[in-house]
Amino acid sequence: MNILDWLLKRPKPLYRMTAKEIRKREIRASVDTERVMRSIEKLAADKKKIFERGSSDPTPEMRRMLAQQFELKTTEQLMLSRELNTRSKEHLLMARMRMIKQSHERAKAAGSRVGEISEADVAKLTAMVDQDSITAEMYNERLDRALAVGAEADEGMLGISEAAQAVMRTWERVDNGALTDTDEAFDEADRSVREAAKE
């Protein structure tokens, strides 16, 4: 059952769930995302070993077999990448809905209607989860617009928060050699995210 079926067919729709109920689903989505990411990382490591083996063994028969293995691993990696896109969007939806629900529950306790979300909005957002053409970044941007919690993002960092952009900038510094120590890079990224959270 895909996420759209789950959201539409459950006796209690997502837009009626409490923040606590959505949090359980968010944790499950996070675990699924991590599982797919680990599988993709393992495939990448396997492909590297296959390629290195082919580089050191010039035998045509061996290279043909290794090339086929490399191709199969790549195909599997591409399939998992599509699944990761779906799982990432599901996780984004659950995380955002939880934040909206928590905000709404606080506002409701104070007698306000701030943070309410309609069934139609949830239906539109869930319909996009299973569309491969919509990346997690695009989905995040649409979530921002639909839930009115978006922030402006630089080109190339569309649909991610300022804190996430800080992590991206740290990785860019690692890529261009400005940061060579991974522990130092991690500390910088962690510090940037913590500072952004305080603002």
Q: What are the pLDDT tens digits along the chain (199 aa)? A: 566 665 555 556 666 777 888 888 889 989 999 999 999 999 999 999 999 989 888 888 888 889 999 999 999 998 999 899 888 888 888 888 887 777 767 766 666 554 556 566 666 677 776 677 777 777 777 776 665 543 333 344 445 567 667 777 888 888 888 888 888 888 888 777 777 666 5
What is the residue type of 119? E
User: Does one domain contain both 112 and 47?
Assistant: yes
Q: What's at 58, amino acid-wise?
A: P
pLDDT for 116 = 56
Count of domains observed in the chain? 2
**Per-residue pLDDT, 13:** 66
Q: Are 91 and 29 in contact (CB under 8 A)?
A: yes
Whether 101 and 190 share a structural domain: no
Do 144 and 176 lie in one domain? The reply is: no
Range of the domain at 176: 161-199
**What pLDDT score was predicted for residue 97?**
81
Q: Are residues 118 and 138 in the same domain?
A: yes
Cα–Cα separations (whole angstroms), residue 27 to 16, 22, 88: 18, 9, 12
